[in-house]
């Protein structure tokens, strides 16, 4: 009997996993985008899917696993775990020659066993990948949103101990909270539009898959923070101290709009390819 297992990936696995992911997603593109001209579907071929640097980032900053069969790496799964109760499957890929053998189902189950405190998993897939829709439905996922290009799925798992302090489906708008202890609290699919945080300690805050467009950050201590896999197009940084800041593996996006440095002291900085 063939045994499928998962192990935490290391930097040494980056090139191998990138090769497998590239083959997998390129095959998906051939299948679902064939004959559609210049159509770009980032759910089929995600940004950076063929980049070893992106894989290294995923291994270092996210929870990345290699899928092993007969002591051979045949795929991978990358998840983002925020807090203790919410997880997101960012990417799952299996060598094309091993697909259709139930390996993906095993990998999903193994990840759920690895993170038994997670009560909600979510993910997105292309509307074009009909086989994915059947697969995720079989694994207990439900559609919560769909458009012409994308389907969003969620799977809810009952975890009794986690739900003791759950506040759900409450209208708490215009509320005010002063001198409150909110250490280790979690927020999932909450509407915080126009909210304000003043004089508060939000060290070690973990935000993922959130919309913070048109937000303002003023007089904030962002020391030693990490910003990765972001879209900052059109953003402005004014009167910001950037000593020691590093920009790596960064592009100007599809629009190729150039960066503007105006009245900036960049003494000693280096820009190289």
Which of 12-26, 134-148, 241-255 shows the lowest mean pLDDT across its residues? 241-255
Q: Which pLDDT belongs to residue 163?
A: 63
Q: pLDDT tier at 153 (50, 70, 90 boundaries)?
A: very high
Average pLDDT score, the chain: 89
For residues 76 and 44, give the distance between their C-alpha atoms in angstroms, rounded to a whole number. 16
pLDDT, average across residues 229-257: 84
Instruction: Report the Cα 141 to chain-centroid distance in Å.
Output: 18
pLDDT at 161 over 80: no
Beta-carbon contacts of residue 264 (< 8 Å; ≥ 6 apart): none
In a domain, 206, yes or no: no
What percent of the chain is modeled with pLDDT above 70? 97
Q: Give the number of domains in the chain.
A: 1
In a domain, 93, yes or no: yes
In a domain, 224, yes or no: no
CATH classification at residue 30: 3.40.630.30
Closest CA to 167 of 191, 142, 186, 192: 186
Q: Which pLDDT belongs to residue 150?
A: 95
Instruction: Report the Cα 20 to chain-centroid distance in Å.
Output: 19
Q: pLDDT tier at 105 (50, 70, 90 boundaries)?
A: very high
Strand-strand pairing, 63-69 and 72-82: antiparallel
Q: Provide the token pair at 195.
A: 């909210």
Q: Which pLDDT belongs to residue 1?
A: 66
Closest CA to 162 of 188, 142, 144: 188
In a domain, 174, yes or no: no
In a domain, 125, yes or no: yes
In a domain, 179, yes or no: no
Q: Which pLDDT belongs to residue 44?
A: 93
> What is the domain range of residue 114?
4-160
pTM of the model as a whole: 0.80
pLDDT, average across residues 181-189: 84
In a domain, 105, yes or no: yes
pLDDT, average across residues 20-33: 95
In a domain, 47, yes or no: yes
DSSP string, the chain: ---EEEEE--GGGHHHHHHHHHHHHHHHHHHHSTT-TT---TTTS-TTTT-HHHHHHHHHHSEEEEEEETTEEEEEEEEEEETTTEEEEEEEEE-GGGTTSSHHHHHHHHHHHHTTT--EEEEEEETT-HHHHHHHHHTT-EEEEE-SSEEEEEEE---GGGGGG---S---TT----S---TT----S---TT----S---TT----S---TT----S---TT----S---TT----S---TT----S---TTTTPPP---S---TT-----
pLDDT at 23 over 90: yes
Q: Which pLDDT belongs to residue 26?
A: 94
Q: Which pLDDT belongs to residue 122?
A: 94
- With tokens 């999932």, the residue in question is 188
């Amino acid at each position: 009997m063939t045994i499928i297992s998962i192990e935490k990936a290391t930097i040494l696995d980056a090139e191998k996993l990138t090769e497998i992911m590239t083959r997998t997603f390129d095959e998906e593109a051939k299948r679902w985008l064939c004959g559609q001209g210049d159509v770009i579907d980032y759910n089929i071929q995600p940004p950076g899917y063929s980049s070893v640097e992106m894989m290294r980032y995923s291994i270092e900053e996210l929870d990345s696993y290699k899928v092993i069969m007969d002591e051979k790496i045949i795929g991978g799964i990358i998840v983002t775990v925020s807090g203790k109760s919410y997880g997101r499957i960012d990417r799952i890929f299996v060598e094309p020659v091993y697909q259709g053998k139930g390996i993906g189902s095993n990998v999903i189950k193994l990840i759920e066993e690895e993170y038994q405190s997670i009560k909600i998993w979510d993910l997105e897939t292309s509307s074009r990948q009909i086989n994915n829709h059947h697969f995720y439905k079989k694994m207990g996922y439900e559609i919560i949103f769909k458009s012409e290009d994308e389907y969003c799925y969620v799977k809810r798992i009952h975890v009794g101990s986690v739900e003791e302090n759950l506040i759900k489906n409450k209208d708490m708008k215009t509320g005010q909270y002063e001198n409150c202890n909110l250490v280790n609290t979690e927020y999932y699919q909450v509407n915080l539009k126009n909210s304000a945080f003043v004089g508060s300690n939000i060290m070690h805050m973990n935000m993922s898959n959130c919309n913070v467009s048109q937000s303002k950050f003023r007089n904030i201590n962002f020391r030693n923070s990490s910003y990765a896999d972001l879209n900052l197009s059109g953003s402005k940084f004014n009167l910001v101290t950037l000593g020691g800041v590093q920009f790596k593996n960064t592009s100007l996006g599809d629009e190729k709009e150039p960066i503007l440095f105006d009245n900036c002291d960049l003494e000693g900085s280096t820009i190289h390819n």
